[in-house]
Amino acid sequence: MSYRAPLKDMLFDIRHLAGIDEIAKMPAFEDAGFDTAQAVLEECAKFNEQVVAPLNVAGDRNPSSWKDGVVTTTPGFKDAYRQYSEGGWQGLQHPTDHGGQGLPKTVGAACGEMLNSANLSFALCPLLTDGAIEALLTAGSDDLKATYLQKLVSGEWTGTMNLTEPQAGSDLALVRTRAEPQPDGTYRIFGTKIFITYGEHDMADNIVHLVLARVTGAPEGVKGISLFVVPKFLVNKDGSLGARNDVHCVSIEHKLGIKASPTAVLQYGDKGGAVGYLVGQENRGLEYMFIMMNAVRYAVGVQGIAVAERAYQQAVAYAKERVQSRPVDGSINASAPIIHHPDVKRMLMTMRAYVEGCRAMASVAAAAYDAAHHHPDAEVRKQNQAFYEFMVPLVKGYSTEMSLEVTSLGVQVHGGMGFIEETGAAQHYRDAKILTIYEGTTAIQANDLVGRKTARDGGQVARAIAAQIERTEGELAHRDSVAARAVLKRLTAARQAFLDVVDFIAGQAKASPNAVFAGSVPYLMLAGNLVAGWQLARSLLVAESLSAKGEDKAFMDAKVATARFYAEHILAKAPGMRDAIVEGAESVTSLALEAF
């Protein structure tokens, strides 16, 4: 099934929830109002629908291959990537100083969703390059920026993140890759890195690896980790490519999904040491890498929304054409397309509501990021930064867990045909699974939400968000529609459940850490559910008003119906989640280890 970008829904979020015209009042974004956003998104949709999306199935069936250290990507990927970089898509939201277009993240996120819906495996290469650009913008020296940024922003070169080692997955204190200082100020890098996305490929002339390593004599643990640029090819003073560096791909992984994306094992220093260049200061590598990881974690959340959207589109198309059984209400006296059956509609509405809720949440988070970096008022910047940081684990954790449910429902709508690879429904399900794992598992996102984002400030930011939600409830209370009343009821109950959990975490994190962290993932899911539901409640308020004026009535009425469904079928779960977290910790931890 072909992919069609959900432009209307994206533009609704950007205009009415994210407030693109307010963003356009900020310095550096003066030319980035709604008309610009619409023009960019329409061009992005054409490119992804016509060039990238047709390669999705081919990448799954004919994935990247490795031979003698050389990785060959799926036929068609190299040409599509050339068109991607020539079109300026890599530089969309990066600074104009380095050749980018300097557009807001609010616009870039929507374009990122389209790319990932079109082809998740393909999109991983630009995603990792974005992370490398962020790290260099934050901590790179003037020389490193001058050498690498323009080429990365243009897409001429690609970037990677090298964190994981065979013994060091989530626990980066165990990193053993070593860096030996040289008289000329460079370092020699020795070690093995695994799970390196696009660590080797044939789509670009150079690959710029961002590598965590421990300088000889550095402290043990996370305090002794530094960050290095280690290019595949060394760069001459005139910017041309020089000798091949001592970093080599010794194999690529065979995976459940995202098969076209080469996941490399990289060996550094087999022939005397790979030349590396320190990013920032020694022993601050993890601090810099977290900046990179925060950018990538948000982007992975968008990947979840993207693959769920693709699965939803395919499920709707199938449900409209697959004929099976008479409708239960007797409205058709013969077998009919399965979309007439109430439970199929329930599954499709669940898919739709999750996708639209998470898209709205991600769009609003992106707007907060833009305000945090560009608003002229320092206090507004600070508030938006706190909001955005709270949102990142929700966008990453909730949206990716959501994608598993949605892609699973996509298989279910197809019935037995969904279990057959030829329909393509199973690919979305397989591709989605990694999203809850890489760049920090859902549990790691939840630990961050509990420890850094809730317990540390005593729940201040969480309660401030709840106060914003309460204001939306006040607006709903002034509406007399059935849908508004239904959403108000469930949103109020979910907010109260959320506040109970915030109080529990803030009050018990130090005294009973096991009890608090036993409910960390349920807390993340409750918070994500609430914020997505809140954004759909805001959507309902806008859509009811515009429908009453006759503006795109069918679309607006569908927004209202989707918000009501989300409230009654998904947001309604929040009070039960609250009970499991606040009252159910002991049953998680009480069973003796030897009983497992």
Active-site residue set: 439
- Per DSSP (E only), the strands in 10-84 are 65-67, 70-72
Q: How far is CA 89 from CA 34, 100, 112, 465, in A?
A: 19, 9, 9, 33
Distance CA 132, CA 68 (A): 27
- Which residues fall within 8 angstroms of residue 334, CB to CB, at 6 or more apart? 326
What's the angle, vertex CA 505, arms to CA 500 and CA 511, rounded to 5? 130
What's the angle, vertex CA 334, arms to CA 330 and CA 335, rounded to 5? 105
Cβ atoms within 10 Å, residue 482: 10
- Which residues fall within 8 angstroms of residue 158, CB to CB, at 6 or more apart? 125, 126, 128, 129, 152, 198, 201, 203, 204, 206, 207, 208
- Per DSSP (E only), the strands in 158-206 are 158-162, 178-181, 187-197
Which element (helix H / strand E) includes 183? none
- Which residues fall within 8 angstroms of residue 241, CB to CB, at 6 or more apart? 205, 206, 233, 234, 235
Distance CA 501, CA 184 (A): 55
Distance CA 264, CA 266 (A): 6
Distance CA 85, CA 108 (A): 15
Q: Say which residue the tokens 């990507």 belong to.
A: 73
Is residue 572 a contact partner of residue 490, using CB atoms and an 8 Å limit? Answer: yes
Distance CA 103, CA 227 (A): 28
Q: How many residues does the chain have?
A: 596
Distance CA 226, CA 177 (A): 10
Is residue 570 a contact partner of residue 533, using CB atoms and an 8 Å limit? Answer: yes
